[in-house]
A and B are shown apart, each in its own frame.
Chain A
Amino acid sequence: MRVIEPLLIILAMIFPFVGIKSHDLSTYIYWTAVVSLYLAYTTYKRWEIE
């Protein structure tokens, strides 16, 4: 696991703490999008066992 990968994901996950202040579902939708993209990446990336 390259260090950059977890770092990027964690930074993406904490972004709403500093970057989203709107009183609607923006934070909710943003977090859903980040985790969905990461799950898709996990699905399609080549694991070292393959």
Chain B
Amino acid sequence: MNSFLIVVFLYAVAGTAIALYARKIGIRDDVDYYIAGRNVSGAISALTYAATTYSAFMMIGLVGLSYASGVGAYGFELFYLVGTLMLLTYYAPKIWNMSKELDVVSPAELLGKRFGSATAISVATISLIALIPYTSIQLIGVSLVIEKLSGIGFNAGIAISALLIALWAFIGGLRGVAWTDALQGVIMISASLVALLYVFSMNPDFASEIPKLGDLLVVPNKIWTPSRFISLTVPWFFFALTNPQVFQRIFIPKNERALKRMVVYFGAFGLTYTIIVTLIGLMLRVMSQSGGFPAINDRDLVTPTLLSMMPEWMALFVGLSILAAAITTANSIILSLSSMVSRDLFKNPLAGRMAIIILTLAVAVFASSRPAYIVELAVMSSTLLLSTLPLVVAIVHTRFERGFEALITAFIVGVVLSYLKYPFTGLAVLAIGFSVIMLTNMPKRR
């Protein structure tokens, strides 16, 4: 067995042991299984929030994006972070209270309490449609890394990833996922720091050579035009309220203090991780100008190229962190979707448990077929999930009771405009969604 497979095996054993231990705490019902009995500490809540949010995109996608497009990539990621902090500081306490008072487990269930079961079913279905391609992308990315580092085939990498995703979620529910996420969050940030120090050691004169990047150091530039920045930023800005896997994490802190800690610690993790990852991309770009690193056209190959230059132990550690980032995101999505299957679609706990396996298989099959349109579908996911935002805002600010029409209209507009590649689809989805929810809830005149 080669070195990376040994590392993956040890990682699998450690994660399974944690999930089994989490199960021993006791799982009596859906509240225990899907939201850990609403009894998670602030630090663990923050780490699982961070590990769920930050996927393999960070160490592969964002390193490459910073390398290819410069400082605009940093601004794009920080807009997401600022949006999340802003939304969580205001909405999280209210949503946390509501979830407790209404005794809800899934995000769709919370919306269904106000807008009815048809809306809950629609939110669950939209989440399934939007998130299966997004989760498949995680598996594809990590399987390419496993393939490169271990030499085993792509489909074997898919099988290993899928097994870990389903196993930990199935055994330990959210408590198991949260604890394994916490460990993996530490691995993710430690490995990124090691990678940054390694890249810095290759070119300690980075700061004095940075002006070589020219227009890549300012915004707007040829790549980061204002319209591109807006079209990419809007869907991610509202991520905290539209993506069920993170929205559901608002339900889990054990008290108000833990909730605040979750948000603040997550912010600190997010800022640190974003700084590290984007600096790696910028440093490599500077080195590529002086021949210290190859000039690469395909930005997704920047991190794999870096891994091939590192000492073996370091490449294994960073490779493991990319695997961890993908697994933590994917199993949190699968668990959140299964909670909606259990609570909103079939109202049957057994269906929810079965959904973990079936959804993981669906994601694995989708990933192994690698359809050409999968990237477009994954990019669409956040835009399509924006259709739920007017409903989330309405349950906090209004007494509106009709949300189904707004949800469906905004979703259809999102699908059509995404297909047509309209650059401001996110803004259009929000405009339509908010307009329809206002119109359908206006008091009728006699």
Partners in one complex: yes
**Residue ranges of A at the interface with B (Cβ–Cβ < 8 Å):** 1, 5-6, 9-10, 13, 16-17, 20-28, 31-32, 34-36, 38-39, 42-43, 45, 47-50
Interface contacts beyond A31-B74, A43-B264: sample of 6 additional A-B pairs, CB < 8 Å, sorted by A: A13-B75, A23-B215, A28-B74, A39-B85, A39-B264, A47-B256
Instruction: Establish whether residues B226 and A32, one from each chain, have CB atoms under 8 Å apart when the complex forms.
Output: no
B296 within 8 A of A: no
Interface SS majority for chain A: helix
Choose one: A20, A26, A32, A42; the contact of B263 (CB below 8 Å): A42
Contact A25 B217 (CB under 8 A): yes
Check B271 against A39 for contact (C-beta < 8 Å): yes
- Are A16 and B256 within 8 A (Cβ)? no
**Which of A5, A13, A17, A47 is within 8 Å of B78, CB to CB?**
A13
Is B275 positioned at the interface, with any CB of A under 8 Å from its CB?
yes
Prevailing SS type, chain B contact patch: helix
Q: Does B210 contact A (CB under 8 A)?
A: yes
Contacts of A28 in B (CB 8 A): 71, 74, 217, 278, 282
* B398 to A: closest C-beta gap in Å: 16
Which of A1, A13, A31, A50 is the one whose CB lies under 8 Å from B260?
A: A50
Distance in angstroms between the alpha carbons of A18 and B216 in the assembled complex: 15
Once bound together, how far apart are the Cα atoms of A26 and B213, in whole Å? Answer: 13
Q: Does B82 reach chain A (CB closer than 8 Å)?
A: yes
Interface pick from B86-94, B119-127, B145-153:
B86-94
Question: Does A23 contact B256, Cβ atoms closer than 8 Å?
Answer: no
Report chain A residues within 8 Å CB of B89: 1, 42, 45, 47
Beyond A31-B74, A32-B275, is A16–B219 a contact (Cβ under 8 Å)?
yes
- Partner of A27 from B71, B81, B267 at Cβ < 8 Å: B71
User: Counting chain B CB atoms within 10 Å of each CB, which of A16, A23, A45 scores highest?
Assistant: A23
Asked whether any CB of chain A lies closer than 8 Å to the CB of B259, the reply is yes
Question: Using Cβ atoms and an 8 Å threshold, which residues of chain B touch A42?
Answer: 85, 89, 263-264, 267
Q: Is the CB of B259 within 8 A of A16?
A: no
Q: Is the CB of B213 within 8 A of A23?
A: yes
The answer to whether B78 touches A31, judged by C-beta atoms less than 8 angstroms apart, is yes
Is the C-beta of B218 less than 8 angstroms from some C-beta in chain A?
yes
B26 within 8 A of A: no
Considering the complex, give the chain A residue whose CB is closest to the CB of B214.
Answer: A23
Taking a contact as CB atoms under 8 Å apart, the answer to whether B82 and A27 are in contact is no
Taken residue by residue from 214 to 248, chain B's Cβ proximity to chain A (1 for < 8 Å, 0 otherwise) reads as: 11011110000010010000000000000000000
Q: Do B220 and A17 touch (CB < 8 A)?
A: yes
Complex CA–CA separation, A29 to B207 (angstroms)? 12
How far, in Å, is B404 (CB) from chain A's closest CB?
27
B268 within 8 Å of A (CB atoms): yes
B86 touches A6 (CB 8 A): yes
Bound CA–CA A1/B88 (angstroms):
11
CA distance A48 to B264 in the complex (A): 15
* Complex contact A25–B218 (CB within 8 A): no
Q: Are B226 and A17 in contact (CB under 8 A)?
A: yes
Known: A13-B79, A39-B264, A39-B268. A22 touches B218 (CB 8 A): yes
Report the separation of the CA atoms of residues A22 and B215 in the bound assembly, to the nearest whole angstrom.
Answer: 9
Q: Which of B244-297 contact A (CB under 8 A)?
A: 256, 259-260, 263-264, 267-268, 271, 275, 278, 282
